[in-house]
Amino acid sequence: MKTKKLGSSDLEVPIVCMGTMTFGEQSSEEESFAIMDYALSQGVNFLDTAELYPVPPTKENNARTERIIGNWMQARGNRSQVIIATKVAGAMPGMDRSYIVANRADPPLDFETAPQPNLTREQILTACDASLRRLQTTYIDLYQIHWPARYAPLFGGRQYHPDRERDAPSIEEQVAAMGELIQAGKVKYWGLSNETTFGVCQFCETAKRLGVPLPVSIQNDFSPMLRVFEGDLAEACAPSNYNIGLLAYGVLAGGALSGKYLNGFDTSRSRHTLFPGFQPRYHAKRTSDAARELVEIAKAKDMSAATLCQAWAASRWYMGSVIIGATTLEQVQENIAACLTKLDEETVAAMDALFLKYGNTTLAD
């Protein structure tokens, strides 16, 4: 298994990170245990989760994923072998997510009276303690801000709209809270997620000013058909600048780029079939059109489109780790092998040509 240091940290992470957002919804605890057992046996000791998970999040399923991971580590006695990354949730205007805050308490608070999540110092510290409790551990290797507290064009947003700006906890307050958690030994390193170049620079310069270690990772949506990261974000995160490793999610665009939603595939257990309203940015016609051509490029090299996409992502110079998802053992086997597959120059050139043809297919407004 190929490994490398994650950003400026001392964390030696594999090129494959096991994503867990289906654990507790599409995958039972037993199935999740089997997936993690296999991943660890292959050298994939890096698990990514969040207090929000599983998805789609509901009052009924919230925080199951962290509990399942905690139960697994307790049952296997393997905490010291595993790198755990989790995330703290912030505000999501227009959505009732008070249950996230309610579930940070033990026993939970009343969902009806609990406040909405927000990235204040108090909420970040409380959320971390709740994650530690559910994960049954005394420390988190990588603690990430799941999405910005301020307004930013997220989850498929293409343009910045000044009229959507809103009041939010300051970046200084968030950075200081991360510094407190590191000082307390509850968190080893911290990272960003769904961030912009502006946000990365602001967080890093604020950390320098406050004497807090810089973030070591950024977890952003990234795929062969969503390459926004490759420009000014890659420059800001480069080893010669802030030295922040990319943790890429959505490499298959929720499975859309694998070609499985095209004719002839059984998708009865797949995310977009079970939850058609979730992650609508991945459902665009341009993405389906691009997927058809990805399938043909892959066929010419005797591989699946899923293998092609993940191998391509793993080959990028700025890649810290490719987050793979799986609801079955067969999927995790294929996805781990995919990230270890090397592509020839002809195939990489074909991928570049396809991107030039379709552009960033999962961006919306």
- The predicted-structure confidence for 301-321, as pLDDT tens digits, reads as follows 999 999 999 999 999 999 999
278 or 104, greater pLDDT: 104
CA 261 to chain centre: 22
In a domain, 267, yes or no: no
Q: Is residue 215 part of a domain?
A: yes
Nearest to 244 by CA among 188, 201, 187, 182: 201
Average pLDDT score over residue span 204-232? 97
* Model confidence at 275: pLDDT above 70: no
For the segment 257-275, the average pLDDT, to the nearest whole number, is: 63
Q: Is the per-residue pLDDT at 272 higher than 60? A: no
What is the mean predicted confidence (pLDDT) over 127-148?
A: 98
Q: Closest Cα to residue 196, out of 173, 178, 220, 162?
A: 220
Write out the two tokens for 124: 């970040």
Is the model's pLDDT at 232 over the cut of 80? Answer: yes
Residue 274 has pLDDT above 60, yes or no: no
Q: What is the pLDDT of residue 263?
A: 65
Note whether residue 209 is domain-resident.
yes
Predicted confidence band at 128 (pLDDT cuts at 50, 70, 90)? very high
pLDDT at 40: 98
For residues 183 and 171, give the distance between their C-alpha atoms in angstroms, rounded to a whole number. Answer: 18
DSSP 109: P
- How far the first Cα of the chain sits from its last, in Å, is 39
Share of the chain above pLDDT 70, in %: 95
The count of structural domains within the chain is 1
Model confidence band, residue 262 (pLDDT cutoffs 50, 70, 90): confident
Report the residue count for the chain.
Answer: 365
Q: What is the mean pLDDT of residues 331-345?
A: 96
Phi, psi of 291, deg, nearest 5: -60, -40
pLDDT tens for each residue of 169-193: 999 999 999 999 999 999 999 999 9
Does residue 206 have a pLDDT over 70? yes
pLDDT confidence bin for 13, thresholds 50/70/90: very high
| 318 in any annotated domain | yes
* Cis previous bond, 117, omega within 30: no
Are 351 and 298 contacting, i.e. CB atoms less than 8 angstroms apart?
no
> In this model, does residue 121 exceed pLDDT 60?
yes
Looking at residue 39, which CATH number applies to its domain?
3.20.20.100
Give the domain range for residue 9.
3-258+304-342
Tokens of 225: 């058909």
- 236 DSSP 8-state letter: H
- Give the integer Cα–Cα distance in Å for 29 and 7: 32
Given a cut of 90, whether residue 20 has pLDDT beyond it is yes
In-domain check, residue 53: yes
Residue 217, number of CB atoms within 10 A of its CB: 27
| Least confident range of 39-43, 147-151, 208-212, 251-255 | 251-255
From residue 186, give the alpha-carbon distance in Å to each of 48, 131, 254, 311. Answer: 17, 10, 32, 34
Residue 359 forms part of a structural domain: no
Q: Cβ of 89: how many Cβ atoms within 10 Å?
A: 24
User: Token match 């120059």: residue?
Assistant: 345
What kind and span of H or E run contains 54? none
Residue 271: band (very low, low, confident or very high) from pLDDT cuts 50, 70, 90: low
Q: Under a CB-based contact definition with an 8 Å cutoff, are residues 10 and 28 in contact?
A: no
- Is residue 324 within 8 A of residue 332, CB to CB? The reply is yes
User: Is residue 112 situated within a structural domain?
Assistant: yes
Residues marked as catalytic:
53
Q: What is the mean pLDDT of residues 199-222?
A: 98
- Is there a domain that residue 270 lies in? no
C-beta neighbour count of 357 within 10 angstroms = 11
* Predicted local confidence at residue 279, as pLDDT: 60
CA 191 – CA 145 distance, rounded (Å): 7
